[in-house]
Structure 1
Amino acid sequence: MEKLTERQQQILDFIREVQEANGAPPTRLEICAAFGFASPNAAEAHLKALAKKGALSLEAGSSRGIRLAEALGLPVVGRVAAGSPILSEGTVDRHVRVDPAMFEPRADFLLRVRGLSMIEAGIFEGDLLAVHRTADVRDGQIIVARVDDEVTVKRLRRAKGRIELLPENRSMKPIVIDPERQSLTIEGLVVGLIRDDFAF
């Protein structure tokens, strides 16, 4: 899902709250009333923008024809190509029917683990990590990071003006980031794990 504007996120949160409370999404008029829009056309424009960004889909001919993308489950991100967004059409292998709200904070996607760098944290090859998309992370947390064009899962440590990505495998060395020579993007916070055989 593409990054949402603040207002788009507010509308998506409202749709989710109404859906959870009433078992059905709001109408365009209810969205207008909640946000003070002058006409249903304004609500429709926001809904179309949300649909274009992949946050929901719209069903024609129904006043409540709004389907949240998470109803499909969480997207599983497979191998991420160098330079591509971590969550894009080409990276999604499939969806797993799991409620994003079972994680705290809520998960935005699942990332398939490749490699053995986190085995001492109980994270094994083939596991699905639930990831909350955020750049706001603290030292000691397990994160998904992009270093230059490589995506990795490591524990974060900031120390003495440098950043270290720590493996949970005594046979492997930390990745030390030199901000002047390397690009680091924090893609999200790991909030849970699903063993793949459990997911089916």
Structure 2
Amino acid sequence: MSRPLTARQQNVYDFIVKTMSEYGYPPTRAEIAKALGFRSPNAAEEHLRALERKGAIRIIRNTSRGIRLPAQETAERQELSSESTADSTTPSGLPVIGEVAAGSPVLAAEHIDRYCPLPSEYFTPKADYLLRVRGLSMKDVGILEGDLLAVHRTERVRDGQIVVARIEDEVTVKRFKRQGHNVQLLAENADFDPIVIDLRTQALEIEGVGVGVIRGGNGQALG
């Protein structure tokens, strides 16, 4: 961080860090405005631009949650740089999951492409594996084709969290929303319709919640 923050900028920065820690992704401008009592998302945008000028955050243009923390990106790049020299005969770190075969566990040995030497405790809550993202259904929250989604294994999930869900034989990454017996798995891309599940007649398994993203799987970690 190149320059000190004002008290209001610090409040915005702290809210970003808190949101990313709890949900694994940054807040929108509207969420910042609501949480901190700004009159409009435009006021939040002005504070974000000031934070970017001071080096506290990095803004990814044209995405609703395009806020990144350079300090976290640098720390993860340093962790991941050891991958090229790691002993391949002794797997360690987080397993990287590629294609998941129908009906088999996500962490089955045949799904593990490699291991990423990033400590699970770097993420909060801790990550148990990295899932390679397919498609662009979550692009508006900055989760793109080829990215690695850090996943904490749990069946407990709150509305609004990004989850790895299994619907019959398909594994998908979506935002979770539940109302009674009905669950909606929501894309973050207007080109994709919600997946609606009636829990009385359809099976749904939660394989975990997203707690962070590694851009393109190349070591540029996004908090």
Q: Is the 8 A contact 2:175 2:185 kept in 1?
A: yes
Could you tell me the percent identity over the aligned residues?
56
Q: Is the 8 A contact 1:76 1:96 kept in 2?
A: yes
Q: Verify: 1:198 aligned to 2:198, yes or no.
A: no
TM-superposed CA distance for 1:198, in Å, is 2.0
Q: Is the 8 A contact 2:140 2:188 kept in 1?
A: yes
Structure index of larger Rg: 1
What are the superposed Cα offsets for residues 118-155 of structure 1, whole Å, 9 maximum, x if unpaired?
A: 00010000000000000011000000000011000000
**Paired position in structure 1 for 2:175:** 155
Q: Is the 8 A contact 1:96 1:199 kept in 2?
A: no
Give, as a single letter, the amino acid of the residue that structure 2 aligns with 1:128: L
1:165 to 176, 185, 189: 185
State the alpha-carbon separation in 2 of the partners of residues 111 and 194 from structure 1. 10
Alignment of 1:125-144 (within 5 A): 125-144=145-164
State the alpha-carbon separation in 2 of the partners of residues 186 and 161 from structure 1. 15
Give, as a single letter, the amino acid of the residue that structure 1 aligns with 2:111: T
TM-superposed CA distance for 1:190, in Å, is 0.4
What are the superposed Cα offsets for residues 97-119 of structure 1, whole Å, 9 maximum, x if unpaired?
A: 11111100000000000011000
Matched position secondary structure for 2:109: coil
Alignment of 1:1-200 (within 5 A): 72-195=92-215, 196-198=217-219
What are the superposed Cα offsets for residues 9-42 of structure 1, whole Å, 9 maximum, x if unpaired?
A: xxxxxxxxxxxxxxxxxxxxxxxxxxxxxxxxxx
State the alpha-carbon separation in 1 of the partners of residues 219 and 131 from structure 2. 15
**Paired position in structure 1 for 2:74:** none
Where is the helix percentage greater, Structure 1 or Structure 2? 2
State the alpha-carbon separation in 1 of the partners of residues 150 and 183 from structure 2. 23
TM-score by length of 2: 0.56
Gaps of 5+ in 1: 1-69
TM-score by length of 1: 0.63
Q: Is the 8 A contact 2:153 2:207 kept in 1?
A: yes
Q: Is the 8 A contact 2:181 2:200 kept in 1?
A: no
Give, as a single letter, the amino acid of the residue that structure 1 aligns with 2:188: E
Give, as a single letter, the amino acid of the residue that structure 1 aligns with 2:175: R
State the alpha-carbon separation in 2 of the partners of residues 156 and 141 from structure 1. 6
Give, as a single letter, the amino acid of the residue that structure 2 aligns with 1:89: A
Runs of 4+ in 1 over 4 A off after TM superposition: none
Give, as a single letter, the amino acid of the residue that structure 1 aligns with 2:193: K
Gaps of 5+ in 2: 1-89
**Paired position in structure 1 for 2:71:** none
Name the count of aligned residue pairs. 131
TM-superposed CA distance for 1:84, in Å, is 0.4
Q: Flag the 1:174–1:158 CA change in 2: closer, same or farther, 3 A.
A: same
